[in-house]
Amino acid sequence: MSEHHEYHDPANVTNPEHAEHHIVTPLQYSFVFLTLLVFTGVTVGAAYVELGVLNPIIALAIASFKAVVVILFFMHVKYQSRLIKITVGAGFFTFLALVTMTLLDYISRAWGLW
């Protein structure tokens, strides 16, 4: 029995969103490349400016932005199925759970180091 068009599979596992296979072009990659270079320059420059507690926040924000851009475009996640997107999210969510829940302990200790 053919699985292609005769049987409408309610559990279509391969391609539930019937997405077309999108090919990202080198031109799009070049924009991403330039963006990454620019923001590398920004993050180096920002390190020399006194911004108090904002310094690490800005540095992490820039790094996160670059990571998101790499994930969406170099790694094609923008054009992938919802499953892949959720998977990526789940990974970072678990990492954040590790960090936050452990910090919960360190921040509230009476030792005074934090």
Using CB under 8 A, list all residues that contact another protein: 1-4, 7, 9-11, 13-15, 21, 23-26, 29-30, 32-33, 36-37, 40, 43-44, 46-50, 55-56, 59-60, 62-63, 66-67, 70-71, 73-76, 80-81, 83-84, 87-88, 90-92, 94-95, 97-99, 101-110, 113-114
Min dist. Cβ of residue 33 to another protein (A): 4
Measure the CA angle with vertex 67, ends 81 and 83; round to 5°.
15
Closest distance of CB 42 from another protein, Å: 11
CA 86 to chain CA centroid, Å, is: 11
The CA distance from 106 to 113, in Å, is 9
Contact 62, 42 (CB under 8 A): yes
CB of 69 to another protein, least distance (A): 10
Measured from the CB of residue 79, what is the shortest distance to another protein in angstroms? 11
CA pair distance 39, 69, nearest whole angstrom = 11
Question: Residue 65 corresponds to which tokens in the numbers above?
Answer: 């932005």
Helices (H), the chain: 26-47, 54-69, 82-107
